Amino acid sequence: MSTAAVMENQPHVPEVIPTFTATLIIRRFDPEVDDEPRWQDFDVELRGTDRVLDALHKIKWEQDGSLTFRRSCAHGVCGSDAMRINGRNRLACKTLIKDLDISKPIYVEAIKGLPLEKDLIVDMEPFFESYRSINPFLMASGSPDKERKQSPVERARFDDTTKCILCAACTSSCPVFWTDGQYFGPAAIVNAHRFIFDSRDEGAQVRLDILNDKEGVWRCRTTFNCSEACPRGIQVTQAIAEVKMAVLRGKP
C-alpha cells in the first residue's frame, strides 16, 4: 500500500489548541447600584488567537452576563469598542491577548473624558457633537454634469484623514480634553482636515473659522497621545499641525 493510501486510512485526530489562563481586572460601574466605579477580576481561559474582545465575550457569556460594553463589527471597522487596556487606548477587537504581558493582570476600563454610563460604556454624545460642529460633509456649489474631478495628487493630500472610524481613542487620550470639556478634540480636527484639504470642497474657511475658536486647534499642546492611540495609524498630531497652519495662512 502506498504512503498516501496509509495516510488516508489514518483516523482524523483533532488538533488540540493550547489554552492559557489570563486575569482581566475590569473597572465596573452600574449606576443603579454603585456610587463609585469598582474593580472586579475575572480569570478566563483563552487561546493564542483570542483578543481582548473575545475575553470580554467569554466573561459575559460564561461568568457575568451583566458586563456591559459596546462592539459591532469585531474587526476594527466600526470604531465602537475603544477602551483603556493596561492604561492605553486601544480597540478591544484589535488587541491580541498574547501581545500583552499575561504574567500580570490585564486592566480594562472605559475611555476617559466622556461621561461614564455603565462598565465600559461612555456617553459618546459630546464627542459626536464636536464632530458635527465642523461640518463633516462636502460643501460644494453647482451641479456638475458628471463627477467632481480630482487628480491622484489632490486625493493623496487628505488620504490619511479619510481613514478615521470615529472611535474616540485619540480624543479620549488627550489630557487637554480630560481637563477642558469644551475642547473640540483631535477627532473633530482630523475630520475637518479631511474636508479642508479636499480640492473639491468650498467650505474650508468656514471650518477654519470654527477651529480658530478658543476651544479649537490652539488648545492642542502637541503631546502626541492622539497619534499613539489611533488604531488606524493616522498621523493625528500632524493633521492638527496642518490645520493650525491653514488657520494662519489659509487653505493651501
188: contact with ligand SF4 by CB under 6 A: no
- Residue 53 is placed in which grid cell? 474582545
Q: Tell the smallest beta-carbon distance from residue 230 to ligand SF4 (Å).
A: 3
- Residue 108 is placed in which grid cell? 480594562
- Size of residue set near ligand SF4 by CB under 6 A: 16
Span from 16-24, 40-48, 69-77, 103-111 in contact with ligand FES (CB under 6 A): 69-77
Residue 169 touches which of ligand SF4, ligand FES, none (CB < 5 to 8 A by kind)?
Answer: ligand SF4
Q: Count of CB atoms within 10 A of residue 118's CB?
A: 17
76: contact with ligand FES by CB under 6 A: yes
Q: Tell the smallest beta-carbon distance from residue 27 to ligand SF4 (Å).
A: 21
73: contact with ligand FES by CB under 6 A: yes
Span from 53-61, 97-105, 108-116, 229-237 in contact with ligand SF4 (CB under 6 A): 229-237
- Using CB under 6 A, pick the residue from 106, 217, 229, 247 that binds ligand SF4: 229
What's the rounded Cα separation, in Å, for the pair 111 and 172? 6
Q: Count of CB atoms within 10 A of residue 149's CB?
A: 9
CA atoms within 13 A of residue 106's CA, in its CB half-sphere: 26
- Using CB under 6 A, pick the residue from 23, 58, 60, 78 that binds ligand FES: 78
What's the rounded Cα separation, in Å, for the pair 240 and 112? 21
Q: Which helix (H) or strand (E) holds 116?
A: strand 116-118
- Using CB under 6 A, pick the residue from 92, 167, 192, 211 that binds ligand SF4: 167
Span from 5-13, 57-65, 186-194, 208-216 in contact with ligand SF4 (CB under 6 A): 186-194
Helices (H), the chain: 3-9, 52-58, 125-133, 152-156, 175-179, 186-196, 204-211, 225-229, 236-249
Name residues whose C-beta falls within 8 Å of residue 110's C-beta, 6 or more positions apart in sequence. 27, 29, 83, 84, 116, 119, 120, 121, 122
Residue 190 touches which of ligand FES, ligand SF4, none (CB < 5 to 8 A by kind)?
Answer: ligand SF4
3-state helix, strand, coil in the chain (%, to 5): 35, 15, 50
- Using CB under 6 A, pick the residue from 26, 120, 122, 168 that binds ligand SF4: 168
Task: List residues near ligand FES by CB under 6 A.
Answer: 71-74, 76-81, 91, 93
Task: List residues near ligand SF4 by CB under 6 A.
Answer: 79, 164-170, 186-187, 190, 229-230, 232, 234, 236
